[in-house]
Amino acid sequence: MIEFDEDLSPVLLIVRDTREHIFGAVVSGAIRPADHYTGTGDSCLLWRFLGEAPHTRELRHYCWTGDNQFFVSAAKDSLSIGAGGGHYGLWLDADLNHGRSQRCDTFDNEPLAGEKEDFIVQFIEAFGFRM
């Protein structure tokens, strides 16, 4: 699993899958390994681009619903952002090669990778900012 410098926050996570969907998350706190979910509703959102590149893209974002507090979980075997009802808003395996995105209670988001829940990562970037 990736490790982040603890001083770098917020974090902008950008994923492009092999079907050319672009999506990710913004987390205002540092992403740290933990055995539980961390973060607050003020600090996390999911986003995705809809439409064809480059001129008809629309940015859609999903904010906290208040239904639960499953914001960020960084474990040894995965990273998940948003959850509830057995579904993950954004889930990535430890190798950052495979992922899943489903509608989740935390953000009431559409699946970020289009119609299919599972996706293969083509490109991933995480930008940490020191504020």
Hey, what are 61's tokens?
């974002």
| pLDDT score of 61 | 95
Asked if pLDDT for residue 6 goes beyond 80, the answer is no
Residue 96 burial (C-beta neighbours within 10 Å; 0-12, 13-18, 19+): middle
Task: Determine the average pLDDT of the residues in 85-104.
Answer: 97
Domain ranges of the chain: 11-128
Asked if pLDDT for residue 40 goes beyond 90, the answer is no
Calpha distance 38→44 (Å, rounded): 10
